[in-house]
Amino acid sequence: MSELSIAAYTVDTAEPAVRPDSARIGKFDVGAFARRFGSPIGLILPVLILALWQTAVSCQWVEPVFLPAPRKVLDAFWLMLTKQDLVFDFLASISIVGQAFIYGSAAGIGLGTAAGLSRKFEQFLGTTVDTVRHIPGIAWLPLIVLWLGIGAPAKILVIAKSVFFPLFLNTLQGIRSVEKNYIELGQVLLLTRRQMVRKVILPSAMPSIMVSLRYAAGLAWALVVVAEGLSGLEGLGFLIFRAQGLLLTDQLLVCMVIIGLVGFVVDRLMYTLQCSILRWQQGFKG
């Protein structure tokens, strides 16, 4: 007993060592990656919904023209993939979202940083930004289409605009909420203005920038469907509205499922990126 208590005492007074998960510093954690993409529990609900769908069709609760059987939707997917240009439309949407996301977030982070660092610049932009951002991206589309035509550039511009604002505002906010203590430390360590921004201010704003990147990625993907539905002759959004017009409900559902799944993958990829960039953060892991 006395030996035990001495041992306990030694452990208590010794400085606690690094937490066990330190073993993974700098290494890719496969387990965590898998966890982010969902555990089997997450599959229960989709399976139930699929079963309910099948039951509804089998018992003829709904007319097949409004709700075709899952099997028929799968057939339609195969048809679209092999006989029609589903891959082409899919890539068209992805390319628009990808470009819009890159331009919009680059501009948002860039101008947001500038506004965060200079109150003058923030005041200069303030009125314009706060007015323009209340006009929804989709409301811009008709005008932009008049200027740029129904092709990809108009959609890229409109979606980039919608990506821009969350990033601009969150970058600005992130920079403004840098702890004063850290700035003071930078002064004591004689950091130059440039080093202060790179080593202290931007990393400190990174959590809020990452959150808005993830949010904006989802937003961009949702908007491309709307933008393509409203103008143009390609992309998943175009397909979904065409399917409605032609009463091809099976094709409509194919598009919906694809949009949902891609949105899921995009979100999880952004989350993985967020976790790897912010691995220095001590977060609540549930």
Residues that bind other proteins (CB under 8 A): 13, 15-16, 18-19, 21-22, 25-26, 181-182, 184-185, 187-192, 195, 199-200, 203-204, 206, 279-282
Taking the CB of residue 262, how many other CB atoms lie within 10 A of it? Answer: 17
From the CB of 282, what's the least distance to other proteins, in Å?
A: 4
From the CB of 167, what's the least distance to other proteins, in Å?
A: 20
Q: Which is nearer to other proteins, 24 or 35 (CB)?
A: 24
Tokens of 64: 């097949």
Report the alpha-carbon distance of residue 76 to residue 82 in Å, rounded: 10
Q: Which is nearer to other proteins, 42 or 286 (CB)?
A: 286
SS3 118: coil
Residue 238, phi then psi, degrees to nearest 5: -60, -45
In contact, 255 and 239? CB cutoff 8 Å: yes
Q: Which is nearer to other proteins, 128 or 181 (CB)?
A: 181
From the CB of 188, what's the least distance to other proteins, in Å?
A: 5
Report the alpha-carbon distance of residue 114 to residue 286 in Å, rounded: 36
Q: Which is nearer to other proteins, 29 or 267 (CB)?
A: 29
Report the alpha-carbon distance of residue 56 to residue 235 in Å, rounded: 30
Q: Which is nearer to other proteins, 13 or 39 (CB)?
A: 13
From the CB of 53, what's the least distance to other proteins, in Å?
A: 46
From the CB of 285, what's the least distance to other proteins, in Å?
A: 12
Tokens of 37: 């993409």
